[in-house]
Structure formats: structure tokens, C-alpha cells
Structure 1
Amino acid sequence: MRMLIAEDDSRLLTQLDTFLQQHGFSVDLADNGENALYQLQEYTYDLAIVDIGLPVMDGFDVIRKARQDNIKTPILILTARDRWQEKVEGLDAGADDYLTQPFHNEELLARVKALIRRASGQANPTIRFGPISLDTVAEEITVNEQRLDLTAYEYKVMEYLMLNPQKVVSKTELTEHIYDQDFDLDSNVIEVFVGRLRKKIDPEGTLRPIETLRGRGYRLNRDL
């Protein structure tokens, strides 16, 4: 999952970046509101974390302008302010949730995952597609209750497909959402991951869980 963090406190920005990358997120950073809005306008994110007190353009204006541009990225507000009026203002501007500093990293992670699931129409932390189950909390995938031994990037690919079950996902889109921006988008590494996933999920070749649509990308098999 690809995420934007907009925060002007360099120490907190580094802490969030490190923590979320450790949990499998591809993270872009912005240290002022103008840069944050530009990145939201130019790139597609699975979630944005926005501090209210950003320089140049505050977080409220970033969110309002993003929503005016019809940017639907889920937005989590970070705020050191505990006045309820400011929380209401943030939600009214178009944010989806807020978290007051100081906070525990585990709560941040839980809110992030919940917002991403909700944006994909999934309320349950366990997503099921035929015999395949993806536990977004434990970050595990099972097939017919049997846990698969996946690498981190294999899991990321399958998670993205399962969060977008009706969508044809291009190789470029997958790459952008599981790797940092500077990754080589022409690499065939996604094809390798998909091939490995097919073998691990469907060793007998009976489920055919991931379809390839030539020239377009991949999609979960709707007949599962």
C-alpha cells in the first residue's frame, strides 16, 4: 500500500516513515502543505496522513482543496490540538479520521488499516475471496484454512488485488503501490511475484486465482 505522510516535525516524520515502512507500506513524504497537496494531485495513494499544523498551507486547507479536486484518498489527521472544535473542522473539511498526539504506533497502524479497508468496501479485517482469506491484522493469507508461506512482497501483491477484487490492476499500478517511487517501473518483478503466488495458492492448478488480461494487467478470478 502506498501512503503519503505530511508532517513538518522532522523527527516525527522520520519515526512515522520508519515505522510504516517496517509494516510494509511504501511511503512518500511532504514537510509542508503545498507539497502535500501537489503530491495528492499528482499521485494515487491508498491513504494520506496529514498534520493540521503544516507550514505554507495548513492541513485543513490541504484537505479542503484535495476534496474540491475530487481526490478520494482516505485521509487521517494528526493533531497535537485536543480541542473538539478543531477535530470537527478537520472532519468537516473532508478527513476520514483523526488521531491526537501523542499516540501509540499500534493505534496509528490499526486506524490506517481500517481506513484502507473501508475505502475498499471492507469492514471486516479478514477479507475472503472464495477459499482465500487475507487477515489484514496478522498479515497472513490462508487457502482452505491452510496458511501460506509468503514473502513480504508476495503478500503485498495479493493484498492489493484482494482490496481491489473487481478491478483490472496493471503491472505499473501494482509496482507503484508496493514500491517506493524510485523503483524501476519496467522491471518484470511483478510477473515473478504473480507466478509465485499462483503456485503457492494453487499448486494443483485447479483454482486459477489470478487472471492475466493481456495488455491490461491482473484480476482475481471472479469464479472462485
Structure 2
Amino acid sequence: MRLLIVEDEKELADGLALLFERSGYTVNICYDGLSGLDEILSGVYDLVILDIMLPGKDGISVLKTARGQGCKTQVIMLTAKSETMDKVQGLDCGADDYLTKPFDATELLARVRARIRGRDYSESEELTFGDISLSRARQEMSCRDRKVKLGHKEYELMEYLLVNGGHILTKDMLISRVWDPEEEPEYNHLEVYISFLRKKLRFIKAKVSIVTTKNVGYSLEEPPR
């Protein structure tokens, strides 16, 4: 997998590159927006990590130009912690995810893995994990002959958990995937929807369950054999 990091803080960019290379990725770095845009438009990368504050051309402009020229590469944007408008603009311009600075590098690694796994499922009409299936067209979850409809946020949450089945997704990852920044979601909002999904899993008598990892997040798990 080929990653591009567009980040002007050299120490941060080099540290992230080392982390991803140790995890088996091929990594290239650009330290300014203009060279970053050229690399993005080359189309050779599986995912781009793009900072907003860049010399030459800011990240929002880079992304807007790339999307305008038909680039479909997945992009994770790095934003300042307090800048909600940056997150909104980034998502509006076509970012697939965002992470606020400062962040734990392992959190970014988890998000990259989740995005790439999700891309591999993107053409599937029906997703499966364990004994459950999820219909994209009907936003419906089923187990054998039992089915249940999901609300919009329930569906988005379950899809993300299912695509990353067996892997822990942090609370922040789940929130940023399902809620718009303008909604100012809190952890208790996520917990309510996790509760809804657990009830629906019980309703269809699924063996698969949503497991809590204390102080971290949630994962979709099959029962031990």
C-alpha cells in the first residue's frame, strides 16, 4: 500500500513515515501544498494524509483542486484541535476523515487501516461478518431469516464496525465517521446508538456482538470457538 504524507512539520512527517514503513506501507512525503498536489494528482497512492496548514497552497485548496480534477484517492485531513470550521470545510471538499492535532500516532495508523479496509468493501452491495449481513440498499441488518431496519446513524455505525470486524475502533473514530462536526457530538451520544444496535442484534438473535474496550472504543466480534 502506498501512502502520501503532506505535512510541513518535518519532524512529525518523518516520524509518521517511519511508523507507517514499519507497518508495511510504502511512504512518500511532501512538505508543501504545491508539491503535495502534484503527487496526489499522479494517482499512484492508496491514501493521502493531508495537513490543512501548508506553505504554498493550503490543504483545503489542495483537496478542492484534486477533487475537481477527478481524484478519488482517500484523504485523511489533519486539523487544529479547536478549528471546527476546518473540519467542516475539509469534509465538504471531499475529505474522507479527519484527525485533530495533537493526536496519538497509533490512532492515525488505525484510521488508515480502517479506511483501506473500507475501500476494499466499497463495491459490495451486501456486507457480512460472522452470522450477520448488512444490506446497503435497504439499510437492513439480518441474521438467517430475521431482519431489522436501521436508522441512518445506526447504519453508518454498524457499517463501519462491520467493515472493520474484529478490530477495535476508538470512540473518536466512530464519532468522526457518523456525526458532522457541527453537531458537536459527545461520547454519550455514541453510547446511546451502540445500545440501540446491541438491542437490534439481540432481536435478530445474532451471535456476533459489539464488545466494549474500556476507555478506548468498540469492536464487532464473533463468539469464541
| Interval containing the TM-score (normalised by the shorter chain) | 0.5 to 0.7
SS, match of residue 5 in structure 2: strand
Matching of residue 106 in structure 1 with residue 122 in structure 2:
no
- Alpha-carbon separation, structure 2, partners of 1:62 and 1:56: 10
Across the aligned residues of Structure 1 and Structure 2, the Cα RMSD in angstroms comes to 2.4
SS, match of residue 50 in structure 1: strand
Q: CA deviation at 1:126?
A: 7.3
Residue matched to 2:191: none
SS, match of residue 76 in structure 2: strand
Q: Could you tell me whether the CA contact under 8 Å between 2:43 and 2:71 is conserved in 1?
A: no
Q: Can you list the C-alpha shifts for 1:44-90, whole angstroms capped at 9, x where unaligned?
A: 21100000001100000110011011111100001224221111011
Say how many residue pairs are matched: 132
Matching of residue 34 in structure 1 with residue 30 in structure 2:
no
Q: How does 1:67-146 map to 2 (within 5 A)?
A: 67-121=67-121
Counterpart code for 1:11: E
Q: Could you tell me whether the CA contact under 8 Å between 1:117 and 1:123 is conserved in 2?
A: no
Structure 1 136/48 Cα, relative in aligned 2: closer, same or farther at 3 Å?
A: farther
SS, match of residue 99 in structure 2: strand
Matching of residue 43 in structure 1 with residue 22 in structure 2:
no
Counterpart code for 2:57: M
Counterpart code for 1:92: D
Q: Could you tell me whether the CA contact under 8 Å between 2:117 and 2:163 is conserved in 1?
A: no
Structure 1 vs Structure 2: percent identity of aligned residues?
40
Counterpart code for 1:42: S
SS, match of residue 95 in structure 1: coil
Using the size of structure 1 for normalisation, the TM-score is: 0.54
- Alpha-carbon separation, structure 1, partners of 2:98 and 2:68: 20
Structure 1 35/125 Cα, relative in aligned 2: closer, same or farther at 3 Å?
A: farther
- Alpha-carbon separation, structure 2, partners of 1:96 and 1:63: 11
Q: Could you tell me whether the CA contact under 8 Å between 2:2 and 2:45 is conserved in 1?
A: yes
Q: Could you tell me whether the CA contact under 8 Å between 2:118 and 2:164 is conserved in 1?
A: no
Q: CA deviation at 1:124?
A: 6.2
Q: CA deviation at 1:4?
A: 0.3
Residue matched to 2:9: 9
Q: Can you list the C-alpha shifts for 1:189-209, whole angstroms capped at 9, x where unaligned?
A: xxxxxxxxxxxxxxxxxxxxx
Using the size of structure 2 for normalisation, the TM-score is: 0.54
- Alpha-carbon separation, structure 2, partners of 1:19 and 1:107: 12
SS, match of residue 98 in structure 1: strand
- Alpha-carbon separation, structure 1, partners of 2:81 and 2:114: 23
Q: Could you tell me whether the CA contact under 8 Å between 1:125 and 1:136 is conserved in 2?
A: no
- Alpha-carbon separation, structure 2, partners of 1:103 and 1:95: 18
Residue matched to 2:172: none
Q: Can you list the C-alpha shifts for 1:161-195, whole angstroms capped at 9, x where unaligned?
A: xxxxxxxxxxxxxxxxxxxxxxxxxxxxxxxxxxx
- Alpha-carbon separation, structure 1, partners of 2:9 and 2:3: 18
Kindly indicate whether structure 1 or structure 2 has the higher relative contact order, using CA contacts under 8 Å at least 6 residues apart: 1
Unaligned runs of at least 5 residues, structure 2: 122-158, 170-225
